[in-house]
Amino acid sequence: MFSDSKPVFQRLGYATLILASFLLLLFLANLRSRFYYNGPDYGFLFWLFAWALAVGVGLLLLRKWAVVLLFLPDIAFAAIVCAGLLKPSEIAPWAIVANVLFVAVTVAVPMGLLRYWKTLHW
């Protein structure tokens, strides 16, 4: 698609930074709801924001650790789906196929980035 890897990582980095800004907005809205309305605590949104911010900045700077951080949720999704498939349950076959396809799509993006691994630096 691209002979140079920089446009690929820039687009993905900007998309991840947009995701980070959305997660920060959600965290701040939750913080406001906790202060004013005694709402639920969704503090994990801050950690998701920090992860997305780190990955976005790392991808813009063409860092290998950013691609590794991008793989972490995929590894977690794959482990959870594999554990769920190994347990006998009453899940409908279409739901199993949907879960496996979701994991396959989330793993495909970082796998595609591995072909540019040698152009990245730590």
In a domain, 39, yes or no: yes
Q: How far apart are CA 86 and CA 6, in angstroms?
A: 40
The pLDDT value recorded for residue 3 is 59
Q: How far apart are CA 18 and CA 53, in angstroms?
A: 9
- Confidence label for 121 from pLDDT (cuts 50, 70 and 90): confident
- Say if residues 12 and 59 touch (Cβ distance below 8 Å): yes
In a domain, 16, yes or no: yes
Query: Please, what sign has the CA dihedral across residues 25, 27, 28, 29?
Result: positive
The pLDDT value recorded for residue 53 is 94
Question: Domain containing 40: what range?
Answer: 6-119
Report whether pLDDT(57) > 70: yes
* Each residue's pLDDT tens digit, 7-17: 888 888 899 99
In a domain, 40, yes or no: yes
In a domain, 43, yes or no: yes
In a domain, 29, yes or no: yes
Domain count, the chain: 1
In a domain, 1, yes or no: no
* Each residue's pLDDT tens digit, 67-111: 888 888 878 877 877 777 777 777 777 887 887 888 788 778 778
**pTM of this structure:** 0.75
* Each residue's pLDDT tens digit, 17-26: 999 999 999 9
